[in-house]
Chain A
Amino acid sequence: MNILLFGIAKDIVGQSQLYFSEGEDAPSTVLELKKKISEKYPEFRKLTSLAIAVNSEYAEDHVSLNGFDEIAVIPPVSGG
C-alpha cells in the first residue's frame, strides 16, 4: 500500500511516498492509518490538522482502505 505525501508530511517522513506491505502491517481504515503514521512519526501529532484522501476525495475515519486505492496524507492546506 502506497501513501502519497505532500507539504510538511513529505518533510516529516523525508520522502514523497510511504509504503506499507500488504497484510498485518497495512492499515485497514483511515483512522488506523492516522494512528500508524502518528506513532511512527510523532511530528504528525503537532500539526493543526491531519486529513486523509482516498481516491482524491477527503475520507472520514471509518472509510476502509484497499491496496489499489490512491491514498494521500493531507496536512493543513495553505493555498491562496
Chain B
Amino acid sequence: MQNKIIEIVDSINTSQVFSELSDAQSGGICVFIGTVREFTQGEAVVSLEFETYKKMALKEMDKIAVEATEKWNLNKVIIRHAVGLKVIEDPVVVVGASSAHRDACFEACRYLIDSLKETVPIWKKERFENKQVWVSAHP
C-alpha cells in the first residue's frame, strides 16, 4: 500500500497527523496518541525512556499496517513511535487511519495500537524518584 507512514522518531509533532491522514476519498480520520502519564499505581513517574531494535520494529509495524488494510477498507494508515527520554505529557506514539466511513477507521485504530503493544520490539523504562523499572518485564 502506498499510503502508509511507518516511522520511529526522536520526537512526535502531533499537529502533523491530520494532513498526513487527510484524503479526498475519506469521510473520517481516527487517531490514537499515547502520552506519558504521571502516575503508575500511585507512584510518581519522573520520566520514561524508550529503546528499540529499530530494524525489527519497523518490520513489525509495517506488518501491522498491512494487516489492518487487509481487515478494513482504509485509505491511509500511520504508525509512528518515539524513542529516547520522554517526560510527563509528551506524546510517545501516534497511530491512525482514514477511511470512507467511520467504523473502519475506529476499529483499525484500536487494532493498530493493541497490536503494536503486543509485538513491536520497543521497551519502556519507567524512572521514579528512587528506582527504574522495565515495564512488563516481570509477571
Q: Chain A: residues with CB nearer than 8 A to chain B?
A: 4, 6-8, 11, 46-48, 53, 56-58, 72, 74-80
Contact = CB atoms under 8 A, between A and B. Distances in A.
A78 B34 CA distance: 12
B137 A80 contact: no
Interface of B: 34, 50-53, 55-57, 59, 81, 92-93, 113, 116-125, 134-139
Contacts of B50: 79
A78 B93 contact: no
B138 A77 contact: no
Contact of A72 (B34, B56, B113, B135): B56
Nearest to A76: B136
A56 B117 CA distance: 17
Contacts of A53: 53, 56, 121
The 8 lowest CB-CB distance pairs between A and B, nearest first, are: A79-B122, A7-B123, A56-B56, A78-B135, A8-B134, A78-B124, A80-B117, A78-B136
